[in-house]
Amino acid sequence: MIFPWQTGLWGQLQAAQVRQPHALLIHGPAGVGKLALAEHYAQSLLCEAKVPRQAPCGECDGCRWFVAGSHPDFRRVEPESLARRLEDPEDAEESAPSSGKRAKPSSEIKVDQVRALDSFLNLKSHRGGRRVALVHPAEAMNPSAANALLKGLEEPPPGAFFLLVSHRPARLLATVRSRCVAVPVPAPDPRVSAEWLAQQGAKEAGPWLAFSGGAPLLALQHAQGSGEALARMREALRAGDREALAGVNDREQLEALAEVLLKHALDVAFASCGGKARFGEARPSTSVAAWLRYARKAGRNRALARHPLNPRLFAEEMLGEMPKE
């Protein structure tokens, strides 16, 4: 399935299929539907309909197996932490060790996961067509995994196809990017996003769409409940309640706080330069340079928040460095 704002992009992907590239890099901001677009394209490559179509038929064996997640010529490579979210809770409980503390799932794509593709891609197709490997998000590959994938991209086996989906393509090796046909996926027109969100029954869709940088899927997640912690942080920030902001207990909350502070700093800087706040509301300040420096550091802090730091101490440090209004 593709989203209403992806019709033009789908046409570009169909044209790319005619040119027969061996790898696509579908990239853009989080929450604009890149993964859904990549999955739809992978299904079209594996569709066995004899009559050429503009989209996968949804009726052949290939399409049915793909939708069921059991197509023998398709492999998905993702971090363990992402795969665990999609896991059935009962299956996850059964697979957990009977004793001892369960290890925290990795947020990286490891080299063993990429090397496991070799035997898959170098074997003959089960259905006489292509073998498709989807890597998501590609920037989650650690350096060893990226170099292992590079070997396959440089000398792809006959019939092998790579689909890389990335939120931050600049974090990929330049050599990996250069061996893929880039397909940028921008945020859709705000009017199209707003109409789609209204159809989904999203509440307060407008503010969440602004905070999400125009990404409709991310805005929908926030509007449906995942944004409650963000909303409390934003309210505390407007009220100047730094004590409430500092009360974070885990890395997920810490990353959310870093995002709220980053977007607030950018909005203050925009408003101070005579522009319009992009992510919410902000009052102008005379310390534009200080807010821009703080925004730059907040961007680094958002990445650092994923590391094993003391959440409360790091939150207090971020708040203590915030410029005065």
Handedness of CA 292, 295, 297, 299 (dihedral sign): negative
Tens-place pLDDT, residues 38-77 = 999 999 999 998 776 678 999 999 999 999 999 999 999 9
Contact by Cβ (8 Å): 141, 151:
no
Burial of 10 (0-12, 13-18, 19+ CB in 10 A): middle
Contact by Cβ (8 Å): 46, 205:
no
List, in order of start, the domains of the chain with CATH numbers: 4-184 (3.40.50.300), 227-320 (no CATH)
Q: Which two tokens stand for residue 205?
A: 């869709």
So what's the pLDDT on residue 90?
47
SS3 content of the chain, % helix, strand, coil (to 5): 55, 10, 35
Residue 242, number of CB atoms within 10 A of its CB: 15
So what's the pLDDT on residue 99?
47
Taking phi first (over 0 means left), then psi (-120 to 50 degrees means alpha), and beta for anything else, what does residue 214 get? left
> What's the whole-number mean pLDDT along residues 216-242?
89
CA atoms within 13 A on the CB side of 22: 15
So what's the pLDDT on residue 248?
83
So what's the pLDDT on residue 281?
84
> What's the whole-number mean pLDDT along residues 252-263?
90
So what's the pLDDT on residue 241?
87
Tens-place pLDDT, residues 147-176 = 999 999 999 988 899 999 999 999 999 999
